[in-house]
Amino acid sequence: MNISSAYLIVIICYLLFSNISVFTQDVKYHGQLKVKEVNILNKNNEIVVLKGVSFGWHNWWPRFYNSEIVKYLKEEWKCNVVRLAMGIEPENGYLKNPDWSEALIEKVVEAAIENDIYVVVDWHSHNIYIKEAIDFFTKIAKKYGDKPHLIYEIFNEPERISWEEVKRYSIEVINAIRQYDPDNIILVGCPHWDQDIHIVADNPILDYENIMYTVHFYAAAHKQPLRDKVVYALNKKIPIFVSECGAMNYDGNGSIDYDEWNKWMQLIYENKLSWIAWSIADKDETCSMLNKTASSTGNWDEKEIKEWGKLVLKTLKSF
C-alpha cells in the first residue's frame, strides 16, 4: 500500500467515527449555518464541513458562470459549496462594469439556491473599495439575505494593508450586511494575501456572531510556517475558513506538491475546516482545473480536466 492510499484510509475512518455531517450535502438538510467557536454547525447543531471549488474571475471566465455547472459540480464533483470570484479591479470587472457583474453573480447565486447548495459571494479584490463594497453587499443582502444558502466573503486577499485597516473596513461592511441579513456567515480577509491569521488571532473583531476569517494557501509555497499560524489561531478559538487553496506555487504555476497538499489536507480534516479549491477556469496555468476544450456546461471527460483538477476531484470524492 502506498502512502497516498494509507492516508486516504485514515481520513475516511476518521470521518466515519467523527461527528461531522458531510455526507448529506443539501441545504435542505443542513439549513441555517452558524459559527460556534472554530466550527460551522447546521440547524441540528452538527458540525458541517463545506468543501468545493471556486469559479475563476468572473470577468475573464464568465462562460462557466451558469446553472448547469453548479448542478454538475454538486452532483458529480460532490461539492456542497461553490465560490463566485467577482473580479473588482481588472478590465470588465465590477468597478468598470457593475451592472453586468451583478447580473452574472446573481444568476449563479440563484442557480445555487435552485440546486440547494451553499454559495460564497467573493469580493475578489486586493485593495479597499469601501463604498463600492457596501453598495454591492447591501444589494445582495437585501435580495438573498433570507436564504440560508448565502455566505459573504467581503475581502478576497488584502495585500499591503494593515490588519487595523482591514478590520475597520470589515466592520463597516458587516454592519451594512447585518441590516438586512442577521444570520448568514460572513468571511473576513486578513493581511498578506490571507496568511497573517496570527495577527488576527491577537486582535479579532468582537461582538459579532457568525464571523469567520479566511486563510489562503498554495501548498508548494506555503508550508509549515503558515500551518503553524493556523494552529496558533485555532488554539485562540479563531474560526477559519480556507476559501481558496491550491497545491502549486502561489502564482498559480509550477509543479503540484502532493506531499505538502496532503499535509494541508490532514490539518484541514483534523480541525474540521471548510475549504474551497481554486479554480474552475481554462487559463494556461497549473491552478486552472480545465483545458480549453472543456464544455461550458460540465460533463467533462478525463482529457478535459488537468492534473490539478483531477487531484481536487479525487480529494472531494474522498469524503
Per residue, what are the HEC states of 174-217? Answer: HHHHHCCCCCCCEEECCHHHHCCHHHHHHCCCCCCCCEEEEEEE
Exposure string for 305-318, b = 16+ CB within 10 A, e = fewer: bbebbebbbebbeb
| Interval 230-246 mean pLDDT | 98
The range of the structural domain enclosing residue 117 comes to: 3-317
Per the residue annotation, which of 37, 76, 157, 260 is the catalytic one? Answer: 157
Nine-digit cell at 176? 451594512
Using a pLDDT cut of 90, give the percent of the chain over it: 91
Number of structural domains (the chain) is 1
CATH number of the domain within which 88 lies: 3.20.20.80
d(CA 189, CA 175): 16
Q: Are 122 and 85 in contact (CB under 8 A)?
A: yes
- Three-state DSSP at 298 gives coil
Q: Is the pLDDT of residue 271 over 50?
A: yes
Q: Is the pLDDT of residue 18 over 50?
A: no
Q: Is the pLDDT of residue 15 over 70?
A: no
Q: What are phi and psi of 240, to 5 degrees?
A: -115, 140
pLDDT band at 45 (very low <50, low <70, confident <90, very high): very high
Q: Are 32 and 257 in contact (CB under 8 A)?
A: no
Q: Is the pLDDT of residue 115 over 90?
A: yes
Catalytic residue list contains 157: yes
Instruction: Tell me which of 5 and 198 has the higher pLDDT.
Output: 198
Q: Is the pLDDT of residue 204 over 50?
A: yes
User: How remote is the C-alpha of 259 from its chain's centroid?
Assistant: 22
d(CA 64, CA 295): 9
Catalytic residue list contains 75: no
Which amino acid is present at 2? N
d(CA 271, CA 215): 14
pLDDT of residue 21: 44
Q: Is the pLDDT of residue 13 over 90?
A: no
pLDDT of residue 25: 64
Per the residue annotation, which of 76, 244, 260, 270 is the catalytic one? Answer: 244
pLDDT band at 319 (very low <50, low <70, confident <90, very high): low
Q: Is the pLDDT of residue 4 over 90?
A: no
Q: Is the pLDDT of residue 251 over 80?
A: yes
d(CA 157, CA 124): 7
Q: Are 72 and 297 in contact (CB under 8 A)?
A: yes
d(CA 167, CA 155): 11
Q: Is the pLDDT of residue 153 over 60?
A: yes
